[in-house]
Chains A and B, each alone.
Chain A
């Protein structure tokens, strides 16, 4: 644990240094620069799992017909425009930025959720039948069923028939859990408390797919279940999380019986807001005894 913490601190420091050098080299848009600086301070101030840097966007067209127009275009879309070229190929920096963002996305898929983070929320781990990441990707069916050990652990350690069951899973992005859990979970707990709802034993599922909630539902028979799971990573953000919610989950549920909030990340639905929102939806599910398309929100 201590060793992991040390590694984490090292990573943060390295990241900070990288950012400072990058800033020193840049002579761009002042707004972008300030933004970067703020991010660097934030990273230094908190011992958080490191998340990828915000992309630095600067127009690279050397002699645009209309300079202000170019800024206007860039401000209107997150797409990588105004990047310029050498011959018919992109500039080195643009190309490396793309590769860096792709690396973050790949790491999100192949990465592992930080154990100290799971410990912090007393989440114990169960696994699906996924076996390894390659198999997880090729066989979505195996990520929907817990392995025998997982079934045993749930039966031993979890409260049966809880009102609300919270489950966390890495899904396709371990870093989505790293980046959002610390905000989303406390705000969800507060929200549940304010509605007077009680919660069973929360846990973490490694190698989970959305439909793993059906199997868990069979085993624990909660009134409602929420699964906080990492989404397929994109390049703009590799840290997006979804919350899938279901009234009385069981085998054979169809997609339309689930309610979902997607795009939970800093630039999307903020994780704190999402936590509160999930609490509201769960209370409505309990009131209406329904979820998915049948639920009136």
Chain B
């Protein structure tokens, strides 16, 4: 394994694969905080050059996080199809990048090769891609999933309605749901982040959302994004949940900080299959985001992009209905400004898609980042062009419970209109029945939440 190269007359000798991986990343404040980032552009390109010539076998044979020490590594290893891996193991990362971007590789070819790749190999390919490479590659992959309805088809952009309320007021949550539906959002999920993490509270919100869905015959799915154990208690008490939710980290230690492990996810998986209310076969909603492993001091000195890719390796075990990276939520110590957030959003979406996941993105920022709503407009358009399965819809992008900004119901309507995208087919039919949409366009009554009263 050659870890040495020369760039612009200067020779670089890297210590190990971990160092090459970290330094080959585009600039991120999180890698700098971890003390593993490239010192300057020249060192960054040197690392990319070294990485380009490494083979996929080099990556597999030098694990960044040893399987003996980490169950996420074991899940990723166990998921690799050996026959397909044998076909590609002598490819360099450069060859992998070029194959993925070539006209030879369409949707089904990429889905097939994905089964022979580890999360680290997919991360390596992302490190050699420009932003437009990431868009181009991801746009080829359509990962369709089905819970009560199917989303992810070509030409479809779905949206989660995120009707959070600072005190979990059920009427207040309902009001924001009506607003979202009236703009044509809500096909991915009606999903609420609760303030109060108790089974009773989760149950109340699940019951209310189910009631709204039944009353208006809405083809979608409900979810309350409490801790998985709280949702499990609520479901065991008879709460109607179509989806079960959990945040994931890319290491066993990181997941421990989230209060979960693979055994618990397995248990929840069994429960939602037995006692969930949806059609299926996809019942999971996962969220991820670069930086959470470092935040929990559970990153093994590995860069945040690679750790993020490992989240997807874990997620694919459970064949989720939706996965999204909450890309700008964690804060400026991981992604400092709009440049870094936009880059990370495109990386995460690409890596998720390459794992075969129905990938969405919470295009978002907190107020202490050097980002504003214009940057979200940009990333939203880029991801919509890249074929993102869904984005998040919040009233005027302002989440009054989580105190951050995402994309708005207006934004989703605009992404669809500008790029010729449509809601999920079943949901669009319903929008037409309700008179909210006609031939893919919002009608004159769209935007009036009282049509649901």
Closest 6 CB pairs of A and B: A234-B403, A77-B172, A80-B396, A105-B367, A88-B413, A73-B175
The distance from the CB of A159 to the nearest CB of chain B, in whole angstroms, is 34
Check if A102 sits within 8 Å of B367, measured CB to CB. Answer: yes
Give the nearest-CB partner of A91 in chain B: B410
Check if B450 sits within 8 Å of A69, measured CB to CB. Answer: yes
Give the nearest-CB partner of A65 in chain B: B450
Check if A79 sits within 8 Å of B367, measured CB to CB. Answer: no
The residues of B that contact A67 with a CB separation of less than 8 Å are 450
The SS class assigned to the B binding surface is mixed
13 contacts between A and B (CB under 8 A): A61-B448, A65-B448, A73-B453, A74-B175, A77-B172, A77-B400, A78-B166, A80-B395, A83-B395, A85-B183, A105-B367, A138-B33, A232-B366
The residues of B that contact A139 with a CB separation of less than 8 Å are 33, 333
Check if A89 sits within 8 Å of B410, measured CB to CB. Answer: yes
C-alpha spacing A63/B446, complex, angstroms: 11
CB of A84 closer than 8 Å to a CB of B: yes
- From 179 to 208 in chain B, residues with beta carbon under 8 angstroms from any chain A beta carbon are 179, 183
The residues of B that contact A108 with a CB separation of less than 8 Å are 367
Per-residue interface assignment for chain A, residues 201 to 226, with 1 indicating a CB less than 8 Å from any chain B CB and 0 otherwise? 00000000000000000000000000
Find B449's partner among A70, A101, A140, A236 (CB 8 Å cutoff): A70
The distance from the CB of B101 to the nearest CB of chain A, in whole angstroms, is 33
Check if B368 sits within 8 Å of A233, measured CB to CB. Answer: yes
Check if A78 sits within 8 Å of B400, measured CB to CB. Answer: yes
- From 74 to 109 in chain A, residues with beta carbon under 8 angstroms from any chain B beta carbon are 74, 76-85, 87-90, 94, 98-99, 101-102, 105-106, 108-109
- From 25 to 72 in chain B, residues with beta carbon under 8 angstroms from any chain A beta carbon are 29, 32-33
B residues lining the A interface (CB < 8 Å)? 29, 32-33, 163-166, 169, 171-176, 178-179, 183, 331-333, 336, 366-369, 372-373, 394-398, 400, 403-405, 408, 410, 413-414, 417, 442, 445-451, 453
Check if B172 sits within 8 Å of A79, measured CB to CB. Answer: yes
C-alpha spacing A244/B369, complex, angstroms: 24
C-alpha spacing A66/B450, complex, angstroms: 6
The residues of A that contact B449 with a CB separation of less than 8 Å are 61, 70, 73, 81-82
Assuming A109-B368, A138-B333, A140-B333, is B450 touching A80 (CB within 8 A)? no
Find A76's partner among B171, B404, B417 (CB 8 Å cutoff): B171
Interface residues on A, range: 35 or more
Check if B450 sits within 8 Å of A88, measured CB to CB. Answer: no
The residues of A that contact B453 with a CB separation of less than 8 Å are 65-66, 69, 72-73
- From 94 to 126 in chain A, residues with beta carbon under 8 angstroms from any chain B beta carbon are 94, 98-99, 101-102, 105-106, 108-109
C-alpha spacing A108/B414, complex, angstroms: 31
Give the nearest-CB partner of A97 in chain B: B396
Check if B398 sits within 8 Å of A76, measured CB to CB. Answer: no
Give the nearest-CB partner of A104 in chain B: B367
A residues lining the B interface (CB < 8 Å)? 61, 63-67, 69-70, 72-74, 76-85, 87-90, 94, 98-99, 101-102, 105-106, 108-109, 137-141, 172, 232-236, 238
The residues of B that contact A105 with a CB separation of less than 8 Å are 367
Give the nearest-CB partner of B366 in chain A: A232
Assuming A61-B447, A73-B450, is B179 touching A88 (CB within 8 A)? no
Check if A232 sits within 8 Å of B450, measured CB to CB. Answer: no
Give the nearest-CB partner of B412 in chain A: A88
The residues of B that contact A66 with a CB separation of less than 8 Å are 450, 453
Assuming A81-B175, A90-B396, A137-B333, is B414 touching A76 (CB within 8 A)? no
Give the nearest-CB partner of B32 in chain A: A138
C-alpha spacing A110/B255, complex, angstroms: 34
Give the nearest-CB partner of B415 in chain A: A88
Name the residue in B33, B164, B367 with the highest tally of chain A Cβ atoms < 10 Å from its Cβ. Answer: B367
Find A235's partner among B164, B176, B332, B367 (CB 8 Å cutoff): B367
The residues of A that contact B173 with a CB separation of less than 8 Å are 77
The distance from the CB of A229 to the nearest CB of chain B, in whole angstroms, is 14
Name the residue in A69, A88, A138, A172 with the highest tally of chain B Cβ atoms < 10 Å from its Cβ. Answer: A88
C-alpha spacing A138/B294, complex, angstroms: 13
Assuming A137-B332, A139-B33, A235-B403, is B368 touching A81 (CB within 8 A)? no
Find B176's partner among A79, A84, A232 (CB 8 Å cutoff): A79
C-alpha spacing A23/B49, complex, angstroms: 62
